[in-house]
Chain A
Amino acid sequence: MILKIIGNIAGKLKTSFFDLLPIILVVSFFQIVVLQQPFPNLFEILVGLVFVVVGLMLFVEGLEIGLFPIGENLSYSLVKKGSLFWLLLFSFLIGFSTTIAEPALIAVAKKAAEIAVESDLIKPEIESSYAFGLRLSVAISVGLAILMGIWRIIKGWPIYYLIIGGYIMVIVMTLFAPEEIIGIAYDAGGVTTSTITVPLVAALGVGLATVIEGRSPLTDGFGLIAFASLLPMIFVMGYGMLIF
């Protein structure tokens, strides 16, 4: 048991290190060959990188030991139970709660709030609540996107309807949203779905597609991620209209 955990951890450490390796190589190449300058604060940055690697490793290991199995188990039981209400509620909540814990989104929201304060868009006192507001808008929209995506799988609608409808909404909102929110709103779409959301949501989609007759897990499970990155753009622009 212990040996297995150690083996797992070593494997994860390797994976997170390889995640980082291309960045280390490209950055060092530029620093040494192109810029030909010593790296400022090298020690601090190296310590930070170790934190990133160890942190991601623990995070992913924890998800795999604890949250993914129970999440899949739960999705499967809910699908089998056959109650549409609970299934849809669960879809919304799983999208919402996984997005709140999404590391990349935490990072981008934080940066966006710092920039907003530096450019005098918001008062320094509300910096952290602005960042949290951004994440909340994204989380609500991902929840809704998952709910609609699950509804789509049940109804068997083609995914294009949702995506093209989403594109049109994005265009309409862009016309009305304040200029300051547009950049972060568009970026929020790209960061929402990565580490936690995708595996849990995929489990739900695949579970459903196997239970409902005439659905293929391969094609019906897909497309959900794409839709889940359109809605956040719309909602964050809405949030911007409220704030600015």
Chain B
Amino acid sequence: MLKELGITFLNTIRDVAPIVLLIAIFQIFIIKKSIPNLKNVVFGVVLVIFGLTFFLMGLEQALFPVGELMAKQLSNPDFIGANYSGSLSDWQAYYWVYIFAALIGFSTTIAEPSLYAVAVKANEVSGGTIGTFNLRLVVAIGVAFALVVGTYRIVVGDSLATYIMVGYIIVMIQTLFVKKDLVALAYDSGGVTTSTVTVPIVAALGLGLASVVPGRNPALDGFGLIALASVFPIITVLGYAQMNDLIKYLIKFKKIIS
């Protein structure tokens, strides 16, 4: 373990070095000023290196194993009780996996701090149409749905590309029919959903599932949960905005009629 710690530490220094070099070189040679608060900067870099080292160690010890373990336990034949035949019609046998995926996706997204920041901005841009809490709710539903679809896809072994393409096409069609201010924001909400803690667990869940379900190959089928989790929230956020517009339109329409 100590040896591993040492290796991780050295690798981390290598990983952080580019940022430090970049900032130092630009500050000294291009801007030609000395670095303000040099002490703080150095202290910050040291913290970053130690923090990243600890995080990576913990990842290996906790986050990866937990994701894998949950996938294996919940799809264990003893637990699901069904004699899974490997045929398509048996995908229901894995329903606990879907429920688990949905809960993990929903709960981690609702609690995600960077999503909160986006939600506040969304509220401003939309002129109050999109409430802060509602946006977070809508994004979280998108992520939960994405993980359910993604785990289902791993169980049945469909092509990931098809799912993503369908997602893109829906996004493109929605983009045509929504207030332009909101588009960039909706796109971004897809990118910020998956936090540093969630990504490893979700990745391990998918890969673990693909290694347990008969006939699946982790290298081919195990990925894609994170990809889907960045497309689906765009769809739900755009959909939410469109629904709001529609309701407003209907209310107006009603008033005109009466």
Contact = CB atoms under 8 A, between A and B. Distances in A.
A98 B19 contact: yes
A235 interface: no
* Chain B interface mostly: helix
A65 B22 contact: no
Contacts of B79: 35
Contacts of A35: 73-74, 79
Contact of A58 (B51, B69, B229): B51
A224 B184 CA distance: 8
B24 to A, nearest CB: 9
B203 interface: yes
Contact of B63 (A48, A58, A106): A48
Interface stretch (B34-42, B86-94, B131-139, B245-253): B34-42
A43 to B, nearest CB: 10
A241 interface: no
Q: Interface size class for chain B? A: 35 or more
B16 A101 contact: yes
Interface string B104-131: 1001101111100000010011000000
Contacts of B103: 26, 29
B83 interface: no
Contact of A106 (B31, B56, B110, B222): B56
Interface in B3-37: 15-16, 18-19, 21-23, 26-27, 30-31, 33, 35-37
A184 B220 CA distance: 9
Q: Which interface class (under 10, 10 to 19, 20 to 34, 35 or more) fits A?
A: 35 or more
Contact of B62 (A52, A93, A115, A195): A52
A97 B184 contact: no
Contact of A49 (B48, B62, B168): B62
B77 interface: no
B226 A190 contact: yes
Interface in B45-83: 45-66, 69-70, 73-74, 79
A118 B33 CA distance: 51
B152 to A, nearest CB: 15
B222 A183 contact: yes
B232 to A, nearest CB: 11
A142 to B, nearest CB: 11
A6 B217 CA distance: 48
B156 interface: no
B191 A193 contact: yes
21 contacts: A19-B195, A30-B100, A45-B61, A48-B65, A56-B51, A60-B51, A61-B51, A70-B27, A81-B30, A94-B22, A101-B48, A186-B160, A186-B224, A198-B192, A222-B121, A222-B188, A223-B184, A225-B188, A225-B191, A225-B192, A229-B190
Given A70-B35, A78-B30, A111-B64, A219 B192 contact: no
A172 B35 CA distance: 45
A67 B187 CA distance: 27
Contacts of A193: 191-192
A131 B46 CA distance: 25
Given A160-B183, A189-B227, A226-B190, A34 B96 contact: yes
B19 A97 contact: yes
B56 A22 contact: no
Nearest to A222: B184
A59 to B, nearest CB: 3
B242 interface: no
Contact of A78 (B18, B31, B190, B229): B31
B141 interface: no
Nearest to A39: B69
Interface in A149-197: 159-160, 163-164, 167, 170-171, 174, 179-180, 182-184, 186-187, 189-191, 193-196
A71 B23 contact: yes
A22 B108 contact: yes
- Chain B CB within 10 Å, residue with most, of A25, A71, A107, A159: A107
B230 interface: yes
B187 A223 contact: yes
A228 B154 CA distance: 26
